[in-house]
Amino acid sequence: MEMNLTETSNVIVAIASAPLLNGLIKAAKARLQNRRGPRLLQGYFDIRKWLHKDAVVSPTTSWIFAAAPYVYLAATVAATVQLFAMDFIVMIYLLASGRFFLVLASLDAGSAFGGMGGAREMFIAALVEPALLLAAATLALPAQSTQMALLTATAESGSIQLSQLLAAIAFYLVLVAETGRIPVDNPDTHLELTMIHEGMILEYSGHRLALIHLAAALKQLLFIVLFCQLFLPWGDAAWLAVKVMLVALLLALTETSTNKMRLFKVPEFLMLSGLISLLALLAQ
Amino acid sequence: MKENSRINNLFSHLFALAGSLAAAASACVVYATGQGWEIGLPFSVWQEEAMFRLDHLGAFFLFMTGVGGAAVSLYAIGYCRSYMRRRLWLLTGLYNVFLLSLVLVFSAQHALLFLLAWEVMALSSCLLVNHEYEEAGVSQAAYLYFAMTQAGTAFIVMAFFSLAAASGSMDFSLLNGAFLTEGERNFVFLCALIGFGAKGGLMPLHIWLPRAHPAAPSHISALMSGVMLKTAVYGMLRMSLQFLPSGPLWWGELMVAVGLISLLLGILYAFLEKDLKRLLAYSSVENVGLIFFTIGVGLLFSSKGDWAAAQFAWTAALCHALNHSLFKTLAFLGVGAVYQATHSKDADQLGGLIKKMPYTAVFFLISVMALAALPPLNGFWGEWLIFQAVLQLGPVLGGMVGKLISALLIAGLGMAGVFAAACFVEAFGISFLAKARSKGADEAKEVALTMRAGQGVLALCCVGAAVFPQFVIQNAAAALPAGVLVWSGDMSLFSAALPNGYSIDSRWLIASLFAGLVLSLGLARLGGKEKQTPGETWTCGIVPDRQMEYTASGFSQAAKRAFRRVVHPHEEQLINQSPHRYHGQKLSYEIRLHYLFSTQIYEPLQRRLVEAAQIMKQIQGGSVQVYVGYIFVVTIAVLLWSAR
């Protein structure tokens, strides 16, 4: 239960490298689409820019709007701590707390864009969560625990089996939905027909926008690391970096080769993930 | 008369407050000394002394009654001012009777006394639901509640008297199912499940709950939902742990199934609801479903002989019951405050209250976060324990089936959890944030000091139970009757019951959240001081108005569509053409949901009853001669029968 120095430094490295990972995905995507794309470090430059900008705040908003980015980042950081040291369920629910505040903030300015983004975010979350827990159950049931260390140990103990492979596919589908990528959400647009995450944060500017973008990038990194630890459990820390990059490339490839699907197709997409998880359980 | 009612209001609620504190204190004494209390009554039943006795299980629930009752009584001093000219004497009197009956239910250790207290509780709460009978729908709600609670009581009476007849005693310590045959034991269990399930609002016996809770005055609904529903949990635990230990597997399966249905459908209906009190009522259906589900998981363990895991599951159920009594009472008090300030419970008519009622907003936010089981608040810890308990089901049930059931139950719990979060984002976000959508919400003012104090006490309790969840968990484990399993005193239960479990610790969670907060504040500092310019909300360049805000109906639209097979939404759009050709058209939107059990069970039942009555009506012609004829025919028939 105690946090030692390595775990603390893991968390710090994760926070520091989250914007880089986002840059990596963007660069890979641009290459795949024959574009030049932004610089690898653009995420850091963006955050610095927002930190130095002034903010425009709607007078309709309340302290919830002001506090939400801080709570969102704090909850995501706390979830990262859980990822390296503690409990899977606590991690999922910490991320849910962050989401709760972000959705509240999306309603606070009183515009239809925010409400639409928030409503869609909660709708997708309600479908993602069961699929995510089913995928995790393929490891949690043999481990008889939701403790991260035991989950990883269970993953390591088996060689690549059919069950683990199926669970990995199921988890990857969840990962795409959770990180807000095509085909579920489009991270790059502000069009009201496609956006979910971007719709929620439309009213933000300045410091708070920087915090939200950092938290979203951290959440994305967290899910990718979780995927690597649970389903590609070999190798040491240096290998982890390589695996994370590979998953990032896979995400870029997925984004380039698929279309954004309609919102009401998302339930079917996630149902597929759940069914694969059940197959994984049957294959154990 | 006005002066008198002020004194009445103050004193009756202060007495209720003192009584509640005494109840909580006596529960604490039981836990501190480890010894029960006994009070004998000067009469006997079946040559047995009638006894009020407080044991650990009773004291656990009595503590809830005490804390909830104290906060509600404090709140009621301010809230009941609006009842000054509306039969306040009746309201305060019945309130005290109701509170006392709750105390007696948890402390009676004698079947007859328990049933008497149970009836007093049912009748006083029924009259309280009926208090505002001038309002539309209130009498019907009270009548439905009356019918359901009396039907439930009939089953409870059958269960207790079957037990008492077999064991020859009415004292709880001697009441035991060991004297019954297998079939009789099943009968008693089913009667108890129906009776207590009706009281707790378990689906499909829940139909009274979403009507009675909104009809009652808010402080009464707080007490009904926060404490009264727990009498069902208490009764079911007494029955299945003490009187009928180690039942067959299907008892557990039945309870898990019923609990799961209430859990999932309850929260779905709550999410689609925009009347705040009815939303909270459906959420109570969900939570009672979750508690019964967890008791059922415990029964599954115990029927397989795994007592350590069973004890773990029941501890989780009790934890969730205590936490629910804290945050659900708080949530109802918050909605009551909103109702008093705005005269509306419809989320779509509210909005912007966070600036007008800052205290109530904070308290309500705490309650909804706890209701959505978000860490670090107390609702989360109960949920975590339940997850751990379900995770153990796999190996205990054994085989592939056990694994699949366990995984599916985990997924179901997770889904209900996110729906709860969505539901309470909607409840808080639509009614407290953005701009006011009606005149009432625009003119709202913060409520009286006592009302804020009542909410504040409960909010503090929620935060306290979140920072020190081990107190709740330890005492919940200690509440289980000795002889089933003994709690070792520290957190080591988890290592005993969970093969790979570990103790639960909230300090790390709170510390990591705090570290994250410090980090984000520091990061925001990095860029220097930020100038904030006010600027209207972005709506593509036009001036935003309240018409553009998202409503509760809009917020749950996607879920309505995705679950249309279950709720069959019936939507209607009415466009009223106004004189302006291009703008100013009035558009109203109405949606009706299909409540599965109402249309599948209750409505057909009602139709059959009316049909039967129509047939019976044929013989009632209204003519005296015909009635004399009936009497004549019957007399002849009886004479012939007896002369046979």
Of A192 and B114, the structure prediction assigns the larger pLDDT to B114
Dig out the tokens for A53 from the structure: 């900008």
**Whole-number pLDDT of residue B471:** 80
Provide the shortest C-alpha distance from residue B510 to chain A (in Å): 9
The model's confidence at residue B579, banded by pLDDT at 50, 70 and 90, is: low
Q: Which residue has the tokens 């957190």?
A: B491
Which residues neighbour A170 within 8 Å (Cβ) at sequence distance 6 or greater?
A131, A134, A135, A138, A273, A274, A276, A277, A280
**Is B491's pLDDT higher than 60?**
no
Provide the shortest C-alpha distance from residue A32 to chain B (in Å): 33
The model's confidence at residue A83, banded by pLDDT at 50, 70 and 90, is: confident
Cβ density class B365-384: b for 16+ within 10 Å, e for less: bbbbbbbbbbbbbbbbbbbb
Cα gap A8→B354, rounded to integer Å: 38
> Minimal Cα distance from A132: which residue of B?
B411
ipTM computed for the complex: 0.93
Chain-chain contact of B523 with A51 (C-beta, under 8 angstroms): yes
pLDDT in tens, B405-441: 889 999 999 999 999 999 999 999 999 988 888 888 8
Identify which of A56, A60, A104 has the shortest CB distance to residue B425: A104
pLDDT in tens, B180-196: 888 888 999 999 999 99
Chain-chain contact of B374 with A100 (C-beta, under 8 angstroms): yes
CB contacts of A122 in chain B (<8 Å) are 418, 421-422, 425-426, 555
pLDDT in tens, B210-225: 888 888 899 999 999 9
Is B121 in contact with B108 (CB distance < 8 Å)?
no
Chain-chain contact of B429 with A108 (C-beta, under 8 angstroms): yes
Is B493 in contact with B474 (CB distance < 8 Å)?
no
CB contacts of A7 in chain B (<8 Å) are none
CB atoms within 10 A of CB B1: 6
Cα gap A178→A95, rounded to integer Å: 11
Size of interface A-B (CB pairs under 8 A): 277
Contact of B388 with chain A, judged by CB distance below 8 Å, is answered with yes
**Whole-number pLDDT of residue B488:** 45
> Minimal Cα distance from A59: which residue of B?
B534
Provide the shortest C-alpha distance from residue A77 to chain B (in Å): 5
**Whole-number pLDDT of residue B224:** 92
The model's confidence at residue A73, banded by pLDDT at 50, 70 and 90, is: very high
**Whole-number pLDDT of residue B501:** 59
> Minimal Cα distance from A263: which residue of B?
B558
Average confidence (pLDDT) over A159-184: 85
**Whole-number pLDDT of residue B120:** 94
Chain-chain contact of B384 with A48 (C-beta, under 8 angstroms): no
**Whole-number pLDDT of residue A3:** 57
**Whole-number pLDDT of residue B321:** 94
Count of residues in chain A: 284
Dig out the tokens for B185 from the structure: 């034991």
Provide the shortest C-alpha distance from residue A37 to chain B (in Å): 26
Q: For residue A251, give Cα distances in angstroms to A6, A22, A181, A232, A256.
A: 28, 11, 8, 16, 9
Is A19 in contact with A50 (CB distance < 8 Å)?
no
Chain-chain contact of B415 with A104 (C-beta, under 8 angstroms): no
Q: What is the mean pLDDT of chain B?
A: 85
SS3 B269: helix
**Is B11's pLDDT higher than 50?**
yes
> Minimal Cα distance from A130: which residue of B?
B411
Contacts of range B477-482, beta carbons closer than 8 Å, 24 or more positions apart: B477/B311, B477/B315, B477/B318, B478/B31, B478/B56, B478/B60, B479/B56, B479/B57, B479/B59, B479/B60, B479/B318, B480/B56, B480/B57, B480/B241, B480/B311, B480/B314, B480/B315, B480/B318, B481/B55, B481/B56, B481/B57, B481/B241, B481/B242, B482/B56
**Whole-number pLDDT of residue B485:** 43
Chain-chain contact of B533 with A55 (C-beta, under 8 angstroms): yes
**Whole-number pLDDT of residue B2:** 52
Contact of B531 with chain A, judged by CB distance below 8 Å, is answered with yes
Chain-chain contact of A116 with B354 (C-beta, under 8 angstroms): no
> Minimal Cα distance from A147: which residue of B?
B501
Q: What is the mean pLDDT of chain A?
A: 86
Provide the CA B563 distance to its chain's centre, in angstroms. Answer: 24
Cβ density class B179-194: b for 16+ within 10 Å, e for less: ebeeeebbebbebbbb
Q: Chain B 424-483, CB below 8 Å of chain A: which residues?
A: 425-426, 428-430, 433-435
Average confidence (pLDDT) over A226-241: 83
Percent of chain B with pLDDT over 70: 92
Cα gap A261→B573, rounded to integer Å: 28
Helices (H), B343-398: 353-356, 358-371, 378-391, 393-397
**Is B487's pLDDT higher than 60?**
no
Q: Which residue has the tokens 């069009």?
A: A191
Chain-chain contact of B512 with A76 (C-beta, under 8 angstroms): no
Which sign does the torsion angle of CA B371, B375, B378, B382 carry? positive
Provide the shortest C-alpha distance from residue A236 to chain B (in Å): 25
Interior angle at CA B287, CA B286 and CA B290, nearest 5: 90
The least confident of A216-220, B269-273, B452-456, B554-558 is: B554-558
Provide the shortest C-alpha distance from residue B313 to chain A (in Å): 15
Which residues neighbour B11 within 8 Å (Cβ) at sequence distance 6 or greater?
none
